[in-house]
Amino acid sequence: MSADEAHARRTRLTLRQVLRGFVRAPSPWVILTLLAGAATARMLVGDWRITDALVPVLMIAAFPFVEWIIHVCVLHWRPRTLGRWRVDSLLARKHREHHADPRRSELVFIPWQTFLWLLPALLVIAFLAFGRPGLALTFLTGVGVLGLVYEWTHYLVHTDYQPRGAVLRAVRRNHRLHHFKNEHYWFAVTTAGTADRVLGTYPDPARTPNSPTVKALHAPHAS
């Protein structure tokens, strides 16, 4: 057992204490603003149709796989050099820092700078992809809800809070395996390995070797 995990076993937090830390971060407030604005505009626009019920269902079903793709392809992006240019996003850099120090709370959250391009991109995607404003706003409301769920769950499992429910315990266990055992597996954050099971990244922990680069992503393997 690592020192981080041993410390977590000794410490007990309440949900109220975790919430106090959560609301100090900027990203939950940015996402909450998106959610409140989109939901308010959705109520004012009206024009409710059956697709306004279908889109959130599809979003919830797809979210574990979207989360997996982002985690694998964006957050675990290996820096590349193309001619004179080094391709290495802020999200990837911050995620490497997050792996190096999983208990550093500010690295758990989406960097606030990301929202400078992400929010405009979401607005453009929503209003171009959907045939009517009401459905675009339904989509944006769903994005706000899922974004808050992601940020809260990710923050919660990185604290010393000990969940009581079996599902959240499994979520916490899987994410800690990703951070403390092997970074090549267990990419799910908000579910108990839904996408991992389908996409082949949910091995038996007992048969999975400890990775020498779990806290130093993309570093050369130890000899």
Strand partners, 86: 81
CB 223 within 8 A of CB 194: no
Residue 11 has a pLDDT of 62
Chain centre distance of CA 203: 21
pLDDT digits (tens), the chain, 223 positions:
444 444 545 467 899 999 999 999 999 999 999 999 999 999 999 999 999 999 999 999 999 999 999 999 999 999 998 888 999 999 999 999 999 999 999 999 999 999 999 999 999 999 999 989 999 999 999 999 999 999 999 999 999 999 999 999 999 999 999 999 999 999 999 999 999 999 999 999 999 999 999 999 988 764 3
- Name the nearest CA neighbour of 203 among 166, 172, 178, 169: 178
Return the closest-CA partner of residue 145 out of 64, 24, 38.
38
Of 217, 180, 186, nearest in space to 200 by CA? 186
The tokens of 193 are what? Answer: 């390995």
pLDDT for 34 = 98
110 is written with which tokens?
A: 């989406």
Closest CA to 190 of 147, 159, 138, 160: 147
pLDDT score recorded for residue 13 = 84
Q: What is the pLDDT of residue 9?
A: 52
pLDDT, tens only, 32-51:
999 999 999 999 999 999 99
Distance CA 118, CA 122 (A): 6
pLDDT given at position 223: 36
Q: Which three-class secondary structure state does DSSP give residue 211?
A: coil
